[in-house]
Structure 1
Amino acid sequence: MKIWDISLTISPNLPTWPGDPKAVIERVSAISDGANANVSRMDMGVHTGTHVDAPLHFIDGSSAVEAMNLEVLIGPARVVQVADDVNVIDREVLEKLELPAGTTRVLFKTRNSKYWASQVRDFQTDFVGIDESGSKYLVEKGVRLVGVDYLSVAPYKQSRPTHQVLLGANMVIVEGVDLSAVQPGEYQLICLPLKIEGSDGAPARAVLIQE
C-alpha cells in the first residue's frame, strides 16, 4: 500500500487568499524556558492551505462544516490530468476529459500543482479553476466531491457562480490539494476536515491511498 499526503504544510510562508489572514504559529510555553511542556497556539483563517468549503461559505443560512457527510469525504477518487494550456475548466474541457460513468470523487491536477512543487510563496491570480458551466456539468454527472490543486475551485474573481452551483448541489469542495507528486488514476481518498462548530470551512488532512 502506498500513501500520498496531498495536504499542504501550514506555515507563515504558505500563500493565502488575498485579504485572508496569514497563518501565525507561536510557541507560548517552552521547555527551554523552564516550562513543563512545549505548547503552541495558531491563528489563521479556516480556508488556509488544504481545506474544505461548507455550503455556508457562499449560501447564507445553509449547513456548516460540522454537518458535512464523512461518507463523501472517504472513498474511491479519480485524479484527472488537465493539460497545461487549459486556463479554465469549463464544460467543453470536461466533456473532452470523458469522466467515466459513476465517478463520484474527482481531483483535478492542473498546472497549478507546479506552484506547490516549486514552493512559490506569493499568491497566483492566474491559477486554473472551474467555471460555472463546468460546475453544472459536474453536478449533472453525479459527482459528489471535487478537489482542485489551488486555493479556490473557481477562477480568480469569479468565485460566486461556481461555488453556488457546487455547494447548492451539496457537493463537497476540497481546495488546496497538492497533486504535484501524484499520477492520474484511481485512488482511495481520505479527507478529514476539523470539526469546527458553525464554520464555513475547515483545514483538512487529505491523503490518497493505492493498493
Structure 2
Amino acid sequence: MCDNPHQIGTGWKGWCALPSSQPAVPTGPWRDLTYPLGHAVPRASVFPQPVFRRIKSLPDDPLNVTEMQMVVHVGTHVDAPRHFFVDGPAFHEIALDRLCGPGVVLRIDRGAGEAITVEDLQPFDVEVRSGDIVAIDTGWSQYAGTPQYHDHPYLAPDAARWLVDHGVKLAAFDVPTPDLPVSRRPDHYDWPAHHVLLSHGVLVSENVCGLTGLAGQRLEFAFVALNIEESDGAPARVMARPVQA
C-alpha cells in the first residue's frame, strides 16, 4: 500500500530539486490558516489533549509564565520526513525554502471516508507548478471540535503520487491526517499517503483552516514552524496571501 519497499522506518529517497523562483508581488493581505493553540485545539484522536498551565501569575508573582505540554502533531503543524523515516531529515534539517513560497489551494469536496483520487486532481494540472505548495480544501474544517471532524476525506495513494510527480514541495490538508480516518483503518494499516509524500521529500501539514475562498488564485504561503532539534514535526503558524500570477 505504500511506496516503501524497505524495512519499516527506512526508505527516504531525498529532497526533490526546487526550481528557481522570483520574488512574489502581493495583491492582498496575509490570511491566518492556523488554529490557536489551546486545550481544545483540533488533533488526531490518537494523540492526547495538550496541557497549558500558568506557573507564574500576576499580581502574586512579578510576571506571567505559561508552561505547555503537547505532542508536536496536534493543532496546525508540519510533519518532517523523520515522522515515518529514521533515515530521513528531522525538523532542524529542513531548509526554509521548503516551508514558504508560491502555490495554490485546490477545492475538492468529499464526504466522510471518501478518497481524493487522481481524477479529482487532474483538472488542476495547469494550476499546480513544480515547486508549489498545495493546500487541499475539503471544507472539513467546519467540523473542527466535533466528532465528525475525525471521520474525514482522505488522500488516495495514487493521488499522493500525483502530487510527487508534479513537483509539489509541501501538501497541506484541512483534516487531521491525509490518510484514512482512524476508525476506518484495517489491521496493520501503514499510512500510505504519508509514506508516499514524506519519502519523496514532500512535507505534510495537517489541521489547516481558513482555506475557503482562496481557490483559483496564486498565493504565497508561509509555514512558520518551530525549529525543534531532532523532531519528527513542529507546530506552525501558517499564513497565505494572494500574489500576482
TM-score by length of 1: 0.90
Equivalent in the alignment of 1:113? 141
Q: How many residue pairs get matched?
A: 207
1:180 CA drift (Å)? 4.8
Partner residue in 2 for 1:7: 34
Deviations 1:130-156 (A, max 9, x none): 121111111111111111001212222
SS in 2 for 1:173: strand
- Separation in structure 1 between the aligned mates of residue 196 and residue 207 of structure 2, nearest angstrom: 19
2: distance between equivalents of 1:89 and 1:181?
18
Q: Partners in 2 of 1:20 and 1:123 — Cα distance?
A: 17
Relative to structure 2, which stretch is displaced further, 129-138 or 41-50?
Answer: 129-138
Candidates 151, 155, 164, aligned match of 2:195: 164
AA paired with 1:81?
R
CA–CA distance in 2 between the matches of 1:137 and 1:203? 26
- Structure 2 equivalent of residue 36 of structure 1: 62
Deviates more, 1:152-161 or 1:58-67: 152-161
SS of residue paired to 1:61: coil
Cα distance in 2, alignment partners of residues 159 and 204 from structure 1: 25
Are 2:136 and 2:172, in contact at CA under 8 Å, matched by a contact in 1? yes
- Letter of the 1:177 counterpart: V
Deviation at 1:101, TM superposition (A): 5.1
- Counterparts of 1:57-68 in structure 2, within 5 Å, are 57-68=83-94
| TM-score normalized with structure 2 length | 0.78
Match of 1:136 among 161, 170, 173: 161
Q: Kindly report the root-mean-square deviation, in angstroms, between the aligned alpha carbons of the 2 structures.
A: 1.9
Look up the equivalent residue of 1:154 and give its one-letter code.
Answer: D
Task: Give the equivalent residue in structure 2 for 1:124.
Answer: 149
Q: Which of 224, 230, 236 is equivalent to 1:198?
A: 230
> Which structure dedicates a bigger proportion of its chain to strand?
1
Q: Deviations over 1:131-188 (max 9, x none)?
A: 2111111111111111100121222236621111101101111111103544312211
Alpha-carbon contact 2:100-2:222 (below 8 Å) kept: yes
Deviation at 1:105, TM superposition (A): 1.2
Of all paired residues, the percent bearing the same amino acid is 28
Gapped runs of 5+ residues in structure 2?
1-27
The yes-or-no answer on 1:209 pairing with 2:235 is no
- Unpaired stretches in structure 1, ≥5 consecutive residues: none
Per-residue displacement from partner, 1:182-205 (whole Å, max 9, x unpaired)? 431221101111011111100000
CA spacing shift, 1:99–1:26, aligned 2, 3 Å: farther
- Tell me the secondary structure at the aligned position of residue 39 of structure 2: coil
**Match of residue 51 from structure 1:** 77
